[in-house]
Amino acid sequence: MHIPDGFVSIPVAGATGVASAAALLIALRRSQDAFGVRRAPVLGLTTAFIFAAQMINFPVAGGTSGHLLGGTLAAVILGSPWAGALCIATVLIIQAVLFADGGITALGANILNMAFIGVWVGWGLTQTLQRLLGGSRQRLPLAAGIAAGVSVVVAAIACALELAISGTAPVAIVLPAMTGTHILIGIGEGLITGSVLVYLARQRPDLLPGEQQQFRGWSIPVVTIFLVAGVLSLFASAWPDGLERVAENLGFINLSDKVRVIVPTPLADYGIQGLGTIGTSIAGLVGAAVCFAVAFGIAKVVRPNNA
């Protein structure tokens, strides 16, 4: 769902950029409670995992692929939608700058759709569903899984409306196209989110909020992230993702060739020229490491004075 350059108009790019910048400033202030000494490693690991998982496109119907957005998962693990939004925004910024994934001019729209709308819809719905399911901690993966799937669809609707306001495609066509495609992707999002939370609840409850035990170590999370970014990413589906498929079907895919802001980087498109699959693995490992370092640094800088 990463909007490339050229898909949204200058006014839409400007308005979403201002809105996202303001929301990020608020998020930095409001998420301080989630950034104590114990949570800084969790923010770093969560951000690195979301980046790694987003490298793995899974196939859905009709030659289309999707990947984890991770907004609901991040908010639940961090226990804060503000911290979850910072996590996803960090991933999106690094993807755009280092990997040319998502347009520089569309970065505000992407952050608004995935880091704020996606996260807040997923967080709010998770809280509501968990109360309806009796408030049991065992029901959290089910509630979060359903909420995660819905959050993807709502974020896709926001993206479709931005494309329509930009004049890229008529709303009567692009809205049902984006919604229908991302309902299928949302099912995958829900299954991944629920599965990860089941694993964490059973094996690593110290990575979830509400637990008082000490952080139990780095080895398993770090190895998992490196396997996902460096190995499993090699098996990602080559089919176009949901937005690319809609753009191809509706005939506006070439708009990205007319407006393109390129930041010079040897890691563009998650590869290194001349290194083949090894380059993809290296790019994934570098990206995960950068995501961890940036998120960990944010947690240290904005943590409360008494943390």
> Which H, E and C letters describe the chain, residue by residue?
CCCCCCCCCHHHHHHHHHHHHHHHHHHHHHCHHHCCCCHHHHHHHHHHHHHHHHCCCEEEHHHEEECCCCHHHHHHHHCCHHHHHHHHHHHHHHHHHHHCCCCCCCHHHHHHHHHHHHHHHHHHHHHHHHHHCCCCHHHHHHHHHHHHHHHHHHHHHHHHHHHHHCCCCCHHHHHHHHHHHHHHHHHHHHHHHHHHHHHHHHHCHHHCCCCCCCCCCCHHHHHHHHHHHHCHHHHCCCCCEHHHHHHHHHCCCCHHHHCCCCCCCCCHHHCCCCCHHHHHHHHHHHHHHHHHHHHHHHHHHHCCCCC
Q: What is the pLDDT of residue 304?
A: 65
Q: Six-digit token pair at 48?
A: 């690195």
How far is the first Cα of the chain from the last one, in angstroms, to the nearest whole number?
A: 36
Fill in the amino acid letter for 156: A
Q: Six-digit token pair at 299?
A: 């947690």
Other CB atoms closer than 10 Å to residue 227's CB: what's the count? 12
pLDDT, tens digit only, all 307 positions of the chain: 899 999 999 999 999 999 999 999 999 988 876 666 567 889 999 999 999 999 999 999 889 999 999 999 999 999 999 999 999 999 999 999 999 999 999 999 999 999 999 999 999 999 999 999 988 888 999 999 999 999 999 999 999 999 999 999 999 999 999 999 999 999 999 999 999 999 999 998 888 887 556 778 888 999 999 999 999 999 999 999 999 999 999 999 999 888 777 778 888 889 898 888 999 999 999 999 999 999 999 988 877 655 5
Distances (CA, A) of 145 to 69, 100, 139, 202, 214: 12, 29, 10, 16, 27
Give phi and psi for 265, each to the nearest 5.
-155, 140
Q: What is the pLDDT of residue 136?
A: 83
Q: Which residues contact 109 (CB under 8 A, 6 or more apart)?
A: 3, 8, 12, 13, 16, 17, 20, 159, 162
Q: What is the pLDDT of residue 35?
A: 64
Q: Six-digit token pair at 294?
A: 């940036």
Other CB atoms closer than 10 Å to residue 219's CB: what's the count? 8
> In the chain, what's the furthest Cα-to-Cα distance?
55
